[in-house]
Copies of this chain bind each other. A is one copy, B any other.
């Protein structure tokens, strides 16, 4: 699947990141669904996930869904680094390719905040929600802009990247750069051996042991185990996903921690305690890199935080929109959250 070309562009200008690097002429690619109402009170923010584009979020949006574009104005900003917004694959020198600077979750949300406030004039968000790294951005929004976020529903993602999760991320990165064709990021052709290893590692983590045991990949239309490993995983990562972009987003993910939001000085618990809105964390029962226990830990500090586990064997991909049962579960929870009173600053 080629990268989508329908995104709109918000010119960020020069963005100075938490690291101190300044991305000059940065752009945020985004898409909207529905119409912003007159008093600008119906906007929902729905950030993207690791390597995902805004189009990859659309499965949760529809007139038959809680995220109904007839009612809500849904804004999907593409993460910096995902190839559509400013990324290693499109940044100008000196930050092109492997020289792209670290973009933290806080940086991502700062850029999205500017889109929402400067471009749309929105000052309140009835809901922020997202899957995986989109959940990380959801937590970040709730900590960085508690005055704006009325409700938060992070699913299959966390407020702080757990150490074990970092081991997974490092395994991906070291496998990709082990291929000499990666050429320190200045490759002329894709490092296909590295990408193959990358895809194989991801395949083991993305779905649960029981998913494979039960051959649930058949429900996705694959005809054999190998067909799934090649047709789903390898194709995904080799098809329009730039290796430097993949590595840049890993760096973002690796450093995820709401405690790093300015004002909290690294204190993750204090950051979680500062969240004002109702927050429903939805980890998946068998998620291997965002296990439910991490969200149990986080929500104990959030005044109006709770956990609802997505049951079943799909693991992390319970939140990927591929399994109707899980999608219904998430959709119903979002509907329930939207029906309850949100935080009003």
User: Measuring CB to CB, which residues of chain A are less than 8 angstroms from any residue of chain B?
Assistant: 162-168, 170-171, 174-175, 177-181, 191, 193-194, 196-197, 200-201, 203-205, 207-213, 215, 225, 229, 288-289, 291, 293-294
- B residues near A291, Cβ cutoff 8 Å: 209
A211 to B209, CA, bound (A): 19
Given known A178-B179, A178-B194, contact A167–B213 (CB-CB < 8 A): no
* Contact indicator A201/B162 (Cβ below 8 Å): no
Establish whether residues A213 and B164, one from each chain, have CB atoms under 8 Å apart when the complex forms.
Answer: yes
Known interface pairs A209-B291, A209-B293, A293-B209; A193-B174 also in contact (CB < 8 Å):
yes
- Complex Cα distance A165/B180, Å? 28
A212 touches B162 (CB 8 A): yes
**Of listed A204, A212, A229, residue having the most chain B CB within 10 A:** A204
Could you tell me the distance in whole angstroms from the C-beta of A144 to the nearest C-beta in chain B? 25
Whether B163 lies near A215 (C-beta < 8 A) is yes
Q: Is the CB of A178 within 8 A of B164?
A: no
- 26 pairs of residues in contact across A and B, judged by CB atoms under 8 Å: A162-B213, A163-B212, A164-B204, A164-B208, A164-B209, A167-B200, A167-B203, A167-B212, A174-B175, A174-B200, A175-B175, A175-B178, A175-B201, A177-B193, A178-B178, A178-B179, A178-B197, A180-B181, A204-B205, A209-B288, A209-B289, A209-B293, A209-B294, A210-B293, A213-B293, A213-B294
Q: Report if A178-B204 is in contact (Cβ < 8 Å); known contacts: A164-B211, A212-B163.
A: no
A26 to B13, CA, bound (A): 69
From B162, B200, B289, contact of A171 by CB (8 A): B200
A201 to B174, CA, bound (A): 9
- 16 further A-B contacts with Cβ under 8 Å, apart from A171-B197, A174-B196, are A163-B212, A163-B225, A166-B225, A167-B203, A170-B200, A170-B229, A171-B175, A171-B204, A174-B175, A174-B193, A174-B197, A178-B179, A178-B191, A178-B194, A178-B196, A210-B293
Q: Is the CB of B171 within 8 A of A203?
A: yes
Q: Are B174 and A204 in contact (CB under 8 A)?
A: no
**C-alpha spacing A49/B338, complex, angstroms:** 53
Report A331 CB to chain B, min CB distance, Å.
28
Residues of B within 8 A of A229 (CB): 167, 170
Nearest 9 pairs of A and B residues by beta carbon = A164-B212, A171-B200, A163-B212, A178-B193, A175-B197, A175-B175, A164-B209, A167-B204, A174-B197
Of all chain B residues, the one with the shortest Cβ separation from A179 is B178
* Closest chain B CB from A214 CB (angstroms): 9
| Complex Cα gap A179–B193 (Å) | 8
Chain B residues with Cβ below 8 Å from A204 are 164, 167-168, 171, 205
Contacts of A197 in B (CB 8 A): 171, 174-175, 178, 197
With A and B bound together, what is the CA distance between A170 and B229 in angstroms? 10
**A297 nearest CB neighbor, chain B only:** B213
Residue from A164, A193, A210, A289 whose CB has the most chain B CB atoms within 10 Å: A164
Q: Tell me the smallest distance from the CB of A106 to a CB of chain B, in Å.
A: 22
Query: Which residues on B sit within 8 Å (CB–CB) of A203?
Result: 167, 171
